[in-house]
Structure 1
Amino acid sequence: MTGLGTLDAWVGRTIGVGWLPTRRDLDAYQLRCLNETIGKARVESPFYRSLAGWPETSHLDELKDIDRFPLTTADDLARGDPSLIALPLRDAVRLVTIPTSGTSGRQKRLFFTEADIEATVAYFEHGMATLVRPGSCVAIAFPAERPDSVGDLLMRGLDRMGAIPVALPVDGPVEALVAALRELQPAAIAGMPVTLGAAARCMAADGGPPLRIETALVSADSVSPSFRTALAVIWGTEVFEHWGMTETGYGGALGCDAHDGLHVRETDLHIEIVDADTGRVLPDGSEGEIVITTLRRRGLPLLRYRTGDSGSIAESPCRCGSVLRRLRLAGRIGEPVALGDGKRLRPEVIDDAIFAVTGVIDFLVEFRSGRHMVVGLVTSDPRTVDEVRSVLRSHPAIGPALRAAGIDIAVEIAVDPPPPPCRKRRVLGVEHVA
């Protein structure tokens, strides 16, 4: 693998320095872009034009001065009154509507221009070059049929860098996905953890020919240690994590060979970490809510947008040599499972414990009537039911928490039809707390 040297070189060209950028180069570029974005948003976006709490002086002298500006929330984006859009709708080439958790009946609507789409394709082109060689076949396990969807943009970026992207059938049973992978024999794969984990475990259990996949780009959900281990054992895969969301223009931060945090897409995003309760900016190394400000997006700029994800900025330089800041992810804000009496469990802990059982292909977790944790397994071995039950009861965090809250564990084979493999993993039927 090539590390992030290729990406840093592209960043240098993109920000206009023509060489490998220094931290000073990046800070100067971000400061210039922030001032441009703030000025345009205040003049052309009805939302930011009327936003209360705007400082008297909009110009930033230093990057840290951005904390003078108010935070933007998903509810602001979903409400859309006044609109955050800073261009005529005729200039938008892509409209994305996505649900907003905790906002009843509302959806976030995001608009992208041709320039926004091009920036994302370029990021995917150069980011994927750090883990995929030209000429390599890359299996895409994201939905890619819709133009300008994340799967489509990723395939366009891979095509530009000389790889051969092929979309997998992700809207059917996992067996169809496995059959396509065996026929394709890809050198790399990209998809969500649930999708890739189910495919790998299904392949390991069905008695068919094994497959070797060198690298995997995993995005759109948390990555557990047991998932990494499964892909390494079954496919011999090195997992590279990616963080992004529709609000970031899909691309956001990418892991490197050091596997010690994800390098931020600093050509297009300024990132802060804030206290989720107070909104106060936290120093590097402290865990809090990830807040983004878009740098080059002119159609729908986002200033200090609360992502709902938790993480921290690494304090020390990366071993790979990149000067790009590193984001360490820590799960989703507001989604610990409330068990009662102040006791909580993070969904990522449950996910890691269950998927660590080798017979598990896929699973669903649901809390029923407040006192029953029901795990529905997809497995080819009925003995897996007892193994999962035993693992959950003996787990040092899960077992005591459930017993203290008076919650019993039921593990069963999931009824037909099995859950679709292309999805995020969520714990159902529970109260979430911030």
Structure 2
Amino acid sequence: MNSNVDILVVDDDKVVQKIVKRSLESEGITVRSALNGEDGLAKAYNSTPDIILLDVEMPGLSGYEVCHQLRENPRTSNVPVVFISSHSSLRERMQGYEAGADDYLVKPFDPEHLMAKIRVLIKYLEQKASLEKQYKLAEKAALAAMAGTSELGVAMDFMTKIFSYNSYETLAQGFFLATGKFGLNCCLLIVDEGGSYWFATDGNISPLEKEMIEMAEKETRIIDFGSRTIVNYPGICLLVRNMPIEDMERYGRTKDILPVFLQGMEAKIHALQTELALMQQSEDLLRSFGRIRTDLYYLAKTLMTNQEDSAKVMHQMIRDLNLDLLRMALDDDQEKYLLNRIESAIEEAAKRIDASPFIANSLSNVFLNLKTVTRKQRILVETFIARHTAGPAEEVVIEDDNIELF
């Protein structure tokens, strides 16, 4: 047993104190004692023990309260605590666990049972110390590696900023800014349905460079020739003009990190293409809504004009019939009968075709809904345009918003 282990026993029962002390000191373990919670806290804070054996029921502070305070203090927050109690129910064990205990020992207990638990905790402490040592060594190595190179930091910074770029031009500028920190001089090709877009660190691309990039085998991810390297990704191709072949360690790190850059750029290019397609679709919808609104306006106006004209025609027909009946020299009863029948039929027909209020209400509702959708769609288009243009967005021309149907 490790003789450097220091155990603090906090228990108001002196018999238990003697049993624990006799059992542990025979194994070469240092044992300190406290008869109440206040004294136990003071001794634990004064000299942090490796393990604390803590009675649950004591005068003054209970074991639960003592354990809670131990866990709140940074000096003792990680010290293993074993509760000693005469109660062994699940409820008491759960209370001990909630208070922060690591193990539970039921009175009365055999010295062998006590030693078994102590051995388990000592092994746990040794493993914990070993893991902490390994962690510190690994952390030190990682910090040393990061301190020796800034490549990872540059890549992380670029990936953090990549989704703030709103065009191929700003994306390429951000990429060249990042690769410039590596001392790299690059050419970049981005291809989409709209065509090919060329960019270079210094703004100049020779015809031969364009030919090499376009002819490079697209199935091959990385092509090396001299101090040049071509990296292929779907929709994007990179030519590095000055790979650091004089420093093979740096050369290897550069080749490892370039695909990281291009993977991020590939994702951003897809996002830009999607946004541009949505913007075009929104512009088309906006124009369609404008045409529909205009057509509905003139449709409603035509329907109402036709209804008015039909009513005028009917009224004129009644007047003409009156004149015609006078020429026919009919009896008064016959004339009156025919006029009543004709007038009733015309009035009934007029009622059936005169749907002006219904048409007005229906078309007004449709028109207002289209007006609302158009306004929202225009806001969406203007937002897209603002993101993809350096200057002010051009307004999409549609029919006047202030058209009133009625």
Normalising by the smaller structure, the TM-score range is under 0.3
Higher strand fraction: Structure 1 or Structure 2?
Answer: 1
TM-score with structure 1 setting the length? 0.17
Who wins on radius of gyration, i.e. which is larger? Answer: 2
TM-score with structure 2 setting the length? 0.18
